[in-house]
Amino acid sequence: MCDDGLMIFDVQVEVVLRPGIADPAGSTIERSLPTLGFAGVSGVRVGKSIRFTVDATDEAAATAEVGDMCARFLTNPVIEDAVITVTASDAGSGGS
């Protein structure tokens, strides 16, 4: 809890390509692995993982703000989906 009544939340946003969107990086990894001796790997998809902390009054407010952030800035909603994980930060609760 911060002095101004805000809590600190740890956020992870996983940005993944939507199903059906071509993933050249994933395809390249998948083709390369057998030549390195790694068998049985399939369905490789490469996305982004964005981690940060955000100050908000509660978890619902934090999730709403991050969702808005994803739609406007962090993802391209035409080709990407965002998986948002919000957890109360240990540092935030310890400092109350």
Q: Cα 84 to chain center, whole Å?
A: 6
For residues 9 and 89, what is the distance between their CA atoms, to the nearest angstrom? 5
Q: In sequence order, what are the beta bridge partners of 17?
A: 80
Q: How far is the CB of 6 from a second copy (least distance, A)?
A: 7
Bridge partners of residue 81, in order along the sequence: 16
SS3 (DSSP) at 93: helix
Residues 36-95 that bind a second copy (CB under 8 A): 36, 38-56, 65, 68-69, 72-74
37: left (phi over 0), alpha (psi -120 to 50) or beta: left
For residue 78, the minimal CB distance to a second copy (Å) is 19
Using CB under 8 A as the binding rule, whether residue 33 contacts a second copy is answered as yes
The binder of a second copy chosen from 16, 67, 81, 84 (CB under 8 A): 16
- Shortest reach from residue 65's CB to a second copy, in Å: 7
The footprint of a second copy (CB under 8 A) covers: 6, 14-16, 26, 29-30, 32-33, 36, 38-56, 65, 68-69, 72-74
